[in-house]
Amino acid sequence: MSIGHTLLGLLESGPRHGYDLKRAFDETFGHDRPLHYGQVYSTMSRLLKNGLVEVDGIEAGGGPERKRYAITDAGITDVEQWLATPQKPEEYLQSALYTKVVLALLTHRDAADILDTQRSEHLRSMRILTDRKRKGDLADQLICDHALFHLEADLRWLELTAARLDKLREAVAR
> What pLDDT digit, counting tens, does each position of 39-61 carry?
999 999 999 999 999 999 888 76
What is the C-alpha radius of gyration for the chain, rounded to an integer number of angstroms? 23
CA gap 111, 68 in Å, rounded: 55
Torsion angles phi and psi, residue 36, rounded to 5 = -90, 150
Does the pTM exceed 0.75?
no
The pLDDT assigned to 1 comes to: 61
pLDDT average per 10 residues of sequence, the chain (174 residues):
91 94 89 87 96 91 82 96 86 81 92 95 96 93 94 95 94 84
Could you give the angle at the alpha carbon of 59 between the alpha carbons of 38 and 79, nearest 5°?
A: 55
If residue 57 lies in a helix (H) or strand (E), which one and from where to where?
strand 53-59
Exposed/middle/buried for residue 81 (C-beta within 10 Å: 0-12, 13-18, 19+):
exposed
Q: State the Cα angle at 54 between 49 and 57, rounded to 5°.
A: 130
Q: Say how many C-beta atoms besides its own lie within 10 A of residue 165's C-beta.
A: 17
